[in-house]
C-alpha cells in the first residue's frame, strides 16, 4: 500500500487551536470524526440535542449530573471491605463491568497505589504477587437491582495498577504503570507487568504476571475479538516517550491459559513519523503501518522504549492512555503532548484509530480546552463506548474534572462533574475521573473518582 504522509504542522497553542476550530468561548474544541461512531465535525458546549442538559449542583457535594439522573455510592476508600479483608483501598482507577448469573454484575476495579499510600490493597494468601506491592484490584458483585452483594480483593501485591481492559472471555487485564525492579522501593519482585483477573472467581486467575506481554509502564489494553491480538499503550513519563504495542498470543482465544501460553510482542512503526505529536491535522492517514519485534520484552537490561529497533527507529508518543476496540479497529488516546517536555508538537488530546485490515493509522479526534477550567475538555484519559454509540471520556487535566460525552453527531457535552474538593476553599482541587464503564444492559454508568477513592453507579434516561 502507498503511504500518505501529511506535512506536520507547527506547534499549536490553546488559543490557536480554538480559533482554528471556530470554538473560542465554548467548553471544548473538537475536530475530526470517528468513522464508525460520528458523522461530521462539530463542537458544542453542554448540549445541542446530544447532551442531557446542564449539570445540576449536587446538594451533597459529591457528583453533579444532568436533571433526571441520580447516583449511588457503591464504595468509598477507607470503609470496610465486605469480605472483612481490610479497608477499601485508595486511588480508584481503571474498571470494567461483566455480566454474571441471574442479572448480577461483576465490577473489577484497579487501585493505583505506589510504594507509599493511604490505603494499600490488603495482602490475601493466594492472590498476592509481591507482599511489598501496595496496588492491585478489588471486585464488587451487584445484584439485579444494583445493590452491592460482595466486595473483596481480586489481586494484591502489584504496583501502580493504572488502567487495563476487558477480554472477550470476561476477564480483566490489569496493568502496572511502573518499571521498578526488585530491590526498588522495597519491592521483592520485578514490576511492570500485566495480570489477568477474573472478577467472578479471582482465585481462578491468581496473581501470575503475563511476562510475554512485556515489562514496561503499561497503561491500557484492547483485544481484537476476531484475531485475539492484544493492543497495549505505554505511558512513559520522560523521553523517549511510550510506544504502541501489539501482542500476538500463541493461543489466540479461549480463556485464562491462552495468554499464559506466551506469544510475540511487537511495537508500531509509522514510516517517516518518529513522534505522533508532530501530526496535528485530523484525518491524517498513514498506510503500510509496520510492526517490529521487541528485542527484549522483559527489559532485562534496557527499558523497551530505549531498545534498538534498527536504523529506521520506532514511533513514540507522549502520554498514551486509554485504549478500546470499536467496530473493526482499535482506538487509543494520547492525553496531551508538550514540546517543552520533549514532544515534537503540542496538543491537548488526540484519539487515533488503527485498522488492522488496511494496516492504516488515522488521527480521528483532536481536543482543545477553553481557558475556563470549570468547563470540560482537557487531557482525555480513560474512555469507553456509550450505549448510544458515542463515547464517554474521563478528564484528567487541570481545574474541575468531568466525565464528558461525545455523540455520534460530534457534539461534546458534560455528563458529570466531581464536586469533592481535596484542596482548600482558597485553592480547590478535584480528583480525576477514571474507569468509566457501562453495565451489560447499558442502563448504568459506573465511574470512579480517583481521590478520594469513590465508585459511583449513575442511572437515568440514557439514550439507547
| Band (158; pLDDT cuts 50, 70, 90) | very high
**What's the rounded Cα separation, in Å, for the pair 168 and 199?**
14
Please say if the pLDDT value at position 248 is more than 70.
yes
Averaged over 366-383, what is the pLDDT? 60
Percent of the chain exceeding pLDDT 70 equals 85
Averaged over 288-298, what is the pLDDT? 98
Least confident of 150-159, 388-397, 439-448: 388-397
Return all residues near 272 (Cβ < 8 A) that are at least 6 apart. 3, 5, 286
Instruction: Output the pLDDT for position 389.
Output: 77
Report which secondary-structure segment, H or E, holds 172. strand 172-176
> How far, in Å, are 8, 20, 159, 348, 400 from residue 14 at the CA level?
17, 10, 35, 8, 18
Please say if the pLDDT value at position 23 is more than 50.
no
| Band (50; pLDDT cuts 50, 70, 90) | low
CATH topology of domain 14-459: Neuraminidase (2.120.10)
Residue range 265-287, pLDDT digits in tens: 999 999 999 999 999 888 999 99
Q: Which of 33-47, 226-240, 384-398 has the highest mean pLDDT?
A: 226-240
| pTM of this structure | 0.88
- What is residue 84's three-state secondary structure? coil
| Band (187; pLDDT cuts 50, 70, 90) | very high
Domain ranges of the chain: 14-459
Instruction: Output the pLDDT for position 372.
Output: 43
Phi/psi at 444 (5° precision): -135, 135
| Peptide bond connecting 452 to the previous residue in cis, omega within 30 degrees of 0 | yes
Answer with the residue of higher pLDDT: 349 or 93: 93
Cα–Cα–Cα angle for 173, 364, 417, rounded to 5 degrees? 65
Cα torsion 358, 345, 325, 405 to 10°: value is: -130
Averaged over 178-185, what is the pLDDT? 96
Percent of the chain exceeding pLDDT 90 equals 71
CA-based nearest residue to 383, from 36, 94, 75, 54: 94
Averaged over 251-270, what is the pLDDT? 85
Ramachandran class of 96: left when φ > 0, alpha when ψ lies in -120 to 50, beta otherwise: beta
CA-based nearest residue to 306, from 176, 181, 217, 174: 217
Amino acid at each position: 500500500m502507498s503511504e500518505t504522509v501529511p506535512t506536520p504542522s507547527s506547534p499549536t497553542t490553546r488559543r490557536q487551536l480554538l480559533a482554528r476550530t471556530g470554538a473560542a468561548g465554548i467548553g471544548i474544541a473538537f475536530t475530526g470524526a470517528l468513522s464508525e461512531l460520528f458523522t461530521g465535525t462539530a463542537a458544542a458546549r453542554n448540549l445541542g440535542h446530544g447532551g442531557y442538559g446542564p449539570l445540576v449542583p449536587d446538594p451533597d457535594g459529591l457528583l453533579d449530573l444532568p436533571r433526571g439522573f441520580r447516583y449511588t455510592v457503591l464504595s468509598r476508600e477507607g470503609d470496610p471491605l465486605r469480605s472483612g479483608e481490610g479497608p477499601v483501598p485508595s486511588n480508584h482507577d481503571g474498571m470494567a463491568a461483566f455480566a454474571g448469573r441471574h442479572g448480577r454484575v461483576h465490577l473489577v476495579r484497579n487501585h493505583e497505589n505506589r510504594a507509599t499510600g493511604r490505603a494499600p490493597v490488603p495482602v490475601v494468601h493466594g492472590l498476592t504477587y509481591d507482599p511489598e506491592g501496595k496496588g492491585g484490584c478489588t471486585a464488587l458483585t451487584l445484584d439485579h437491582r444494583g445493590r452491592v452483594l460482595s466486595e473483596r480483593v481480586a489481586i494484591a501485591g502489584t504496583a501502580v495498577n493504572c488502567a487495563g481492559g476487558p477480554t472477550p472471555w470476561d476477564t480483566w487485564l490489569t496493568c502496572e504503570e511502573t518499571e521498578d525492579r526488585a530491590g526498588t522501593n522495597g519491592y521483592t519482585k520485578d514490576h511492570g507487568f500485566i495480570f489477568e483477573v477474573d472478577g467472578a472467581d479471582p482465585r481462578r486467575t491468581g496473581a501470575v504476571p503475563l511476562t510475554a506481554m512485556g515489562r514496561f509502564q503499561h497503561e491500557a489494553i484492547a483485544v481484537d475479538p476476531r484475531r485475539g491480538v492484544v493492543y497495549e499503550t505505554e505511558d512513559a513519563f520522560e523521553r523517549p516517550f511510550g510506544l504502541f504495542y501489539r501482542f500476538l498470543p500463541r493461543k489466540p482465544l479461549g480463556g485464562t491459559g491462552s495468554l499464559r501460553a506466551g506469544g510475540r510482542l511487537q511495537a508500531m512503526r509509522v514510516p517517516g513519523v518518529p513522534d505522533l505529536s508532530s501530526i496535528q491535522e485530523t484525518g491524517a492517514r498513514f498506510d503500510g503501518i509496520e510492526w517490529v519485534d521487541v528485542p527484549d520484552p522483559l527489559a532485562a537490561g534496557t527499558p523497551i522504549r530505549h531498545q534498538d529497533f534498527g536504523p529506521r527507529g520506532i514511533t513514540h508518543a507522549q502520554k498514551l492512555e486509554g485504549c478500546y476496540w470499536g467496530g473493526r479497529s482499535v482506538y487509543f488516546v494520547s492525553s496531551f503532548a508538550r514540546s517543552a517536555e520533549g514532544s515534537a508538537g503540542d496538543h491537548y488530546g488526540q484519539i487515533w484509530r488503527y485498522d488492522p485490515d488496511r494496516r492504516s493509522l488515522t488521527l480521528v479526534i483532536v481536543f482543545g480546552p477553553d481557558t475556563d477550567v470549570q468547563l470540560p475538555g482537557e487531557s482525555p484519559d480513560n474512555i469507553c463506548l456509550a450505549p448510544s454509540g458515542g463515547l464517554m471520556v474521563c478528564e484528567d487535566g487541570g481545574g474541575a474534572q468531568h466525565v464528558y460525552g461525545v455523540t455520534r453527531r460530534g457534539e461534546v457535552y458534560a455528563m458529570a462533574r466531581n464536586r469533592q474538593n481535596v484542596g482548600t476553599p482558597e485553592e480547590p482541587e478535584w480528583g480525576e475521573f477514571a474507569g468509566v464503564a457501562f453495565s451489560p444492559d447499558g442502563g448504568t454508568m459506573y465511574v470512579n473518582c480517583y481521590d478520594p477513592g469513590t465508585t459511583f453507579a449513575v442511572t437515568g434516561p440514557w439514550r439507547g
